[in-house]
Amino acid sequence: MPIDISKFDTCNLLVVGDLMLDEYLWGEVDRISPEAPVQVVSIKNEDYAMGGAGNVVNNIVALGAKVTAAGVIGTGRNGQILLDKFEDLGVDTAGIVQEPGMPTTQKTRIIASHQHVLRIDRETDKTISDSTIDKITRFIEDKIADVDVVLISDYGKGLITKTLLSRLISAAQKHKKITIADPKGLDFSKYSGVSLLTPNKKEAALASGVDIVDESTLFQSGQKILQTVGLDKLLITCGKDGMVLFDQNREPYKVRAKARQVYDVSGAGDTVLSVFGLAIASGASFKNAMSIANTAAGIVVGKVGTATLSRQELATALTPNQDSFSSKHKRMSELPALIQELKKKDKRIVMTNGCFDLLHSGHIMLFSASKELGDILIVGIDDDDSVKKLKGSGRPVIGVKERVRILCALDSVDYVMVFSSGELIKLIEIIQPDVLTKGSNYTSQEVFGRERVEAFGGKVVLIPVSENISSTRIINNIKSST
């Protein structure tokens, strides 16, 4: 039975794990260094993201649930950046301890022309103090009764010790809470007692000592871990081959991944952990949760960097027989993340806008010519009230919902945005298009938003259109003939 992901709103999860700061440096490579045979990356922009267990938290928030984070960070600048990001998301940070002298783990990724060129890690092998571990553990024990599911994100940075896990699992069992752990290291024995363990295929092979080369050895590895570690359930993620659920005294259950273009696998395990946990908290069975998590992972590997997915993206992927209406139609709130992702992939964005009431051949020519100027065409469409103000009483003749459906059906159109009067400048500022197009019945000076587009480094292009074709002319001809 498919799960209603709108139930995610009612979920409250606790995430315990290693918190990190991910830094992304985006640039271009156009020469080799004269000092050594290495690429010279010209940095164009940079941004920070929550890494490690922080990415699990970010995924949960993006899907609409409440979350509490428990972990340790340093007292320096990187720790403060992480705290600020958590607080901006409305995350409960009472379980995050800032330990003096303990630097916040930072991973810097340099990406040029879609390629991951280099990663720089800044971390320490300094042991987290016993007092910090005890403080976090006591917080978990106090908090666990109030949450639906506990997620454990172990990146091997020292927080997830046998002592902490033992007390966490004991508290979870006392309050009948499900615990799901994404493990690290060769020894899985410390996870004994968790409800579900989610290693990837490589981790499972190393922990079991079984070289996984086919389905038979995969099943052998899974059964060995299940029996020796003392688990009820085990989920092994297999990348492009999907994932397999192992359960005591049952046949392994396998789901296959949908083929997708893969940009970056970083964070895919975080997505599996967060979405699986949310699905279980929403009342899904383990098999249904596995299917949903598998679908979610397939979406994020198509994005660059440590990425989250929106509820609409997940809903659309879970209902593949829907028309293109839901996948192409974007709300204003979804636009910043979409634009950021497109720009990370170096996509050239073209934008055009209008009423598009009663679509005609001139519109089709505008869209086709606009798409030729870039990689992605975003069409802004006036809502019904805006059309009435612009065109007068009786307009639009086709409501905005149907206009959006018609535009989404066109191959040349990638995304459709509905905006109201006064929102066009906001739309342009969010999209920052490389090209803004209008029909040649305008002049460049008449194009609304031209100055903003040019300020962002874009340009306005006028597309030749026939003066004899317009929605108003067609509608008037229909009226006069009736």
pLDDT at 262 over 60: no
308 membership: H or E segment, kind and range: none
What CATH number should be reported for the domain holding residue 426?
3.40.50.620
- Residue 230: per-residue pLDDT: 87
Neighbours of 1 (CB within 10 A): 7
Q: How many domains does the chain have?
A: 2
Identify the active-site residue in 270, 382, 383, 434: 270
- Percent of the chain that is helix, strand, coil (3-state, to 5): 40, 25, 35
If asked whether residues 44 and 91 sit together in one domain, one would say yes
Rounded Cα distance between 214 and 63, Å, is: 35
Mean pLDDT computed over 175-185: 96
If asked whether residues 188 and 336 sit together in one domain, one would say no
* Lowest-confidence pick of 111-120, 281-290, 374-383: 111-120
Rounded Cα distance between 247 and 238, Å, is: 17
If asked whether residues 88 and 232 sit together in one domain, one would say yes
Interstrand relation of 253-255 and 329-330 (parallel, antiparallel or unpaired): unpaired
User: What are the residues whose beta carbons fall under 8 Å from the beta carbon of 57, sequence distance 6 or more?
Assistant: 15, 50, 67, 69, 86, 89, 91, 274
If asked whether residues 312 and 358 sit together in one domain, one would say no
Taking only the tens place, the pLDDT of each residue in 188-206 is 999 999 999 999 999 999 9
pLDDT at 263 over 50: no
Interstrand relation of 12-17 and 233-237 (parallel, antiparallel or unpaired): unpaired
If DSSP states are collapsed to H, E and C, what string results for 348-407?
Answer: CEEEEEECCCCCCHHHHHHHHHHHCCCCEEEEEEECHHHHHHHHCCCCCCCCHHHHHHHH
Catalytic annotation present for 148: no
Cα separation values, 450 from 14, 352, 457, 467, Å: 48, 12, 11, 22
Mean pLDDT computed over 64-92: 95
pLDDT at 93 over 50: yes
pLDDT at 12 over 70: yes
**276, 292, 322 - which closes a domain:** 322
If asked whether residues 378 and 317 sit together in one domain, one would say no
pLDDT at 3 over 60: yes
What CATH number should be reported for the domain holding residue 317?
3.40.1190.20
**273, 290, 322 - which closes a domain:** 322
Rounded Cα distance between 381 and 57, Å, is: 35
If asked whether residues 347 and 316 sit together in one domain, one would say no
Closest CA to 397 of 466, 476, 451: 476
pLDDT at 346 over 90: no
pLDDT at 23 over 90: yes
Provide the strand spans (E) within 270-371: 329-330, 349-354
Band the pLDDT of 280: cuts 50, 70, 90. very high
If asked whether residues 368 and 415 sit together in one domain, one would say yes
pLDDT at 323 over 80: no
Across the chain, mean pLDDT equals 88
Neighbours of 460 (CB within 10 A): 20
Band the pLDDT of 324: cuts 50, 70, 90. very low
If asked whether residues 175 and 313 sit together in one domain, one would say yes
CA angle 110, 114, 120 (to 5 degrees): 15
If asked whether residues 394 and 340 sit together in one domain, one would say yes
If asked whether residues 129 and 224 sit together in one domain, one would say yes
If asked whether residues 345 and 423 sit together in one domain, one would say yes
**322, 351, 383 - which closes a domain:** 322
Owning domain of residue 447 = 329-480
Per the model's pLDDT, the better-predicted residue between 208 and 113 turns out to be 208
- Residue 393: per-residue pLDDT: 84
Taking only the tens place, the pLDDT of each residue in 390-446 is 888 888 889 999 999 999 989 899 999 999 988 999 999 999 999 999 988 777 778
Rounded Cα distance between 438 and 443, Å, is: 9
If asked whether residues 269 and 132 sit together in one domain, one would say yes
Rounded Cα distance between 331 and 343, Å, is: 18
pLDDT at 457 over 50: yes
* Lowest-confidence pick of 326-340, 442-456, 468-482: 468-482
Band the pLDDT of 223: cuts 50, 70, 90. very high
Rounded Cα distance between 220 and 224, Å, is: 6
